[in-house]
Structure 1
Amino acid sequence: MVIHTYTDLPLGDRAAFELACARHGFAPIHFDISGQIDPDDPAHGELLVVRRGAWAQAYRIDSRGQWLRQFEIDLNSRFFRFAPHT
């Protein structure tokens, strides 16, 4: 699956992403999301890159939704809080 925006996410992931954003005072539009093959480990799949302003974090996509838990941890730690929206 090619991911260019959050609307390209599987329906369950998209809903969880929207809820995580809302819980932390964001809207999905505050983030740029794209998928890319892991350059260091192409055999193990795709990375999901989430950007807000100058800040970016890459999450490994798996069938268990681990990236969503990691994204929420980053939101809890305010990783994306002070990044200006572009």
Structure 2
Amino acid sequence: MGTTLFRYIDLPIGDRAAFELVCARHGFAPVHFDISASGSPGEPAHERLVTVRRAGWVQSYQDRHGQWIRQFEADLTCRFFK
């Protein structure tokens, strides 16, 4: 399994806009988080695993066509990333 590292500015435009909106709603900026994705070569992008890190907190989400952003927001609501 290969790992591709990228920042929020490297996300597809729709994911980036949604991520920025979620961050703003919860008082964060996208730069407060490190994002990486991993997937197998030839695997569709929507099947990748997206990992979000902030300080000592790490959470991974299945992409599923941007579904990870909803799960990320649920974690922000629960103050997972403090």
The bucket for the TM-score relative to the shorter chain is 0.7 to 0.9
- Provide the residue aligned with 2:81 in structure 1: 80
- Provide the residue aligned with 2:68 in structure 1: 67
What residue identity is the alignment partner of 1:37?
G
| TM-score, normalising length: structure 1 | 0.79
| Structure 1: segments with no counterpart, 5+ residues | 82-86
Q: Give me the CA root mean square deviation.
A: 2.1
How many angstroms apart in 2 are the aligned matches of 1:58 and 1:8?
A: 18
> Deviating runs (4+, > 4 A) in structure 1?
none
Identity of aligned residues (%): 60
Q: Is the 8 A contact 1:49 1:56 kept in 2?
A: yes
1:1-86 residue pairs with structure 2 within 5 A?
Answer: 2-37=4-39, 45-63=47-65, 65-81=66-82
